[in-house]
A and B are shown apart, each in its own frame.
Chain A
């Protein structure tokens, strides 16, 4: 039997291709700058590329807005909340009459808690003709949404994606949350100044990009302030036994621990920390802690810990109380399970506000309107986006965790972005 591709040929071809590949790789030391060079800095607002694709017009008698969230998979609780929040904003907007007699049609895409599925869902929404997208809770998924939306010049409002370089993807990406570069330093400064901590250990969820990023920015600022990071230990989302990392960090006798993960793991970890004998060590964390559930999973151990949050459910601003009342009414009297409900609401409300302000009902005009946002009053605070490269200059609140009877999150201190600069 004669063959065209016998296995030797196949292997030989492979080897040849590989050899070519290697020699090509070797030339990589002499990069040339012909053609379009990707910008290396990318930190300033000016460096953000602007999408060039033709604008998407809102056709038909509704305006289509999409939301991508985790309807399935391990981030479902956060995804569900962001979608609930967004749905509330849309319902309010439509009840108020929409814009130009047109109502909003909300299309929901499932990211299945995975970046590749998030991109597929986005492409699907884009092919359905949405003019704006409310992004994901996680940065890894949102960056994929952003790169798909870039090709169609459709703006993306990220819900909870705190990854700092996310908005460098293009002028079409804005967010309603603060960035890791703000939240981490806020907690570092609070720990150093107000709690007087000098030796802090970090416990990071190694599976969550959010946690890794937050730990990094905390560590950087805390060291700059003069504190010592005694060590960083790791666990993974879904792990049930935390004794390994806790014993490890206990041996280094920290006076404070920064737990940058999400509340379902932080609660049991706090209990394990107390059970391991670290009774007086102060616990600190980010907005991933925000859920009343942390009180049951953390028990007494979590009380007296400090976290960073976007807003405080006891705030007197009317929009906060209106939102909470309405949320409870629509969800059987339950408080939002995570902070993403408020952020999802804000992200959608921000898009809808921009729809009203946009010069015309199309995606590019919407994108411009979003970047012109000034003084938008959201549940999570006032959002200014004009000239800020897509990152709002929101306050961060440091709250102390107290029992539900005392109000769960008791306000301690507010930081504005300017507070960090002047040091």
Chain B
């Protein structure tokens, strides 16, 4: 038996910075979604399995907003403006916030006094309902037009200087070969892809050989650059701003204090005069808003990303893993877990085993949990007797 494409020896260190950077940037998105899982868990001790579907609807909200702004599949508009992105972000966050509150009201609140596992099943039910119900009403395989994003370019940082290659001779060779080939095409009236004579084919091969030589010479002298798309940097910036906002909210406002109180002891908080229902609703709204923001940014800045009703599955599970990795219920833990997940994926891809990328993420999780059963920042509580 042969298991294909296991990590191979001979690691290429030149791609490491790029893989780590991209992993880290993705990690911010994981962290954003993981926050939703972890906040709900902190307050209700419930895994919100429908969170991935809230995230999915966030992408749809962003998609429909972009359509409303004129970027329908067959538009003829130029590049968008930053305020359009702002509108999409707001729309996705608002819609997701409302959806999260609605789900909490319909599926979780009626079961709050029941065993948690009952809520888990309704969560799975809601998740299936949104996925398959959505398939009936929503357009599938859609994407937000990448033109709406005005930050399409990339930041390029040179890592190693490029060697100076003298390509003058090669350039001339390519030029003459392609001129000969073009002249042949013109004289014989043939199509470049359907050559009839050996003469034509040999001319074409000569042109291709010249081009290849030039290409090889150029790539040999090419220095390594770190490429970071502006869109992803903006996504990272937005994520950091949102996280700072969240930290402020949780640590320095009345609602945040109430949230922490509810998370610490649900019953005692309610005895202290905290309106627990309001706080739970607030938590769901907040977590879902962050998921909406994450969805909008994935759908816009990861240009062309497919939006369908299973959009939340892959990222949802990854974010869930991130939340557990950091210690579920712990807000800084979720961020740390998300970033760690992203970086781990980058490292796995760098090690050359993209086929096992997701499996390795889980293996890392299992190893971490074996060493720290409560996650990185969480505490494994001894169960009360």
**CB–CB under 8 A between A and B in the complex?**
yes
Q: Which residues of A are in contact with B by a Cβ distance under 8 Å?
A: 72, 74, 76-77, 194-196, 198, 206, 232-236, 238-241, 243-245, 247-248, 250-251, 253, 255, 263-265, 267-268, 270-272, 275-277, 280, 291-293, 296-299, 337, 398, 404, 412-413
A-B contacts, 29 listed (Cβ < 8 Å): A76-B135, A194-B192, A194-B193, A196-B204, A234-B5, A234-B355, A234-B357, A240-B315, A243-B23, A243-B26, A244-B19, A244-B345, A244-B346, A244-B349, A247-B22, A248-B15, A248-B349, A250-B15, A250-B18, A251-B14, A255-B212, A267-B306, A268-B306, A270-B304, A296-B73, A297-B306, A299-B145, A299-B146, A398-B193
Q: Least Cβ distance of A272 to chain B in Å?
A: 7
Residues in B with CB closer than 8 Å to A233 are: 349, 354
Of A196, A251, A271, A297, the residue contacting B12 (CB under 8 A) is: A251
Chain A residue, CB-CB nearest to B298: A240
Residues in A with CB closer than 8 Å to B305 are: 240, 268, 297
User: Size band of the B side of the interface?
Assistant: 35 or more
Of A240, A298, A299, the residue contacting B147 (CB under 8 A) is: A299
Q: Answer whether residue B194 sits at the interface, using C-beta atoms and an 8 A cutoff.
A: yes
CA distance A244 to B227 in the complex (A): 13
Residues in B with CB closer than 8 Å to A238 are: 306, 310-311, 313-314
CA distance A248 to B227 in the complex (A): 14
Q: Answer whether residue B219 sits at the interface, using C-beta atoms and an 8 A cutoff.
A: yes
The answer to whether B22 and A243 have CB atoms under 8 Å apart is yes
CA distance A412 to B311 in the complex (A): 35
Residues in A with CB closer than 8 Å to B208 are: 195-196
Residues in B with CB closer than 8 Å to A404 are: 74
Residues in B with CB closer than 8 Å to A264 are: 141, 143, 306, 308
Interface string of B308-330 (1 = CB under 8 A from A): 10110111000000000000000
Residues in A with CB closer than 8 Å to B348 are: 244
CA distance A135 to B283 in the complex (A): 48
Residues in A with CB closer than 8 Å to B352 are: 248
Residues in A with CB closer than 8 Å to B238 are: none
Chain B residue, CB-CB nearest to A302: B304
Chain A residue, CB-CB nearest to B346: A244
A198 in contact with B212 given A247-B19, A275-B229 (CB within 8 Å): yes
Residues in B with CB closer than 8 Å to A255 are: 212, 215
The answer to whether B354 and A235 have CB atoms under 8 Å apart is yes
Of A244, A270, A412, the residue contacting B357 (CB under 8 A) is: A244
The 3 closest A-B CB pairs, nearest first, are A196-B208, A244-B349, A268-B304
CA distance A105 to B140 in the complex (A): 29
The answer to whether B314 and A240 have CB atoms under 8 Å apart is yes
The answer to whether A271 and B146 have CB atoms under 8 Å apart is yes
The answer to whether B315 and A293 have CB atoms under 8 Å apart is no
The answer to whether B18 and A247 have CB atoms under 8 Å apart is yes
Residues in A with CB closer than 8 Å to B132 are: 72
A297 in contact with B229 given A74-B308, A413-B193 (CB within 8 Å): no
CA distance A37 to B330 in the complex (A): 61
Q: Answer whether residue B350 sits at the interface, using C-beta atoms and an 8 A cutoff.
A: yes
Q: Least Cβ distance of B159 to chain A in Å?
A: 12
* CB contact list, B28-72 vs A, under 8 A: none
The answer to whether B5 and A298 have CB atoms under 8 Å apart is no
The answer to whether B304 and A297 have CB atoms under 8 Å apart is yes
CA distance A206 to B357 in the complex (A): 11
The answer to whether B143 and A244 have CB atoms under 8 Å apart is no
Of A236, A248, A299, the residue contacting B358 (CB under 8 A) is: A236
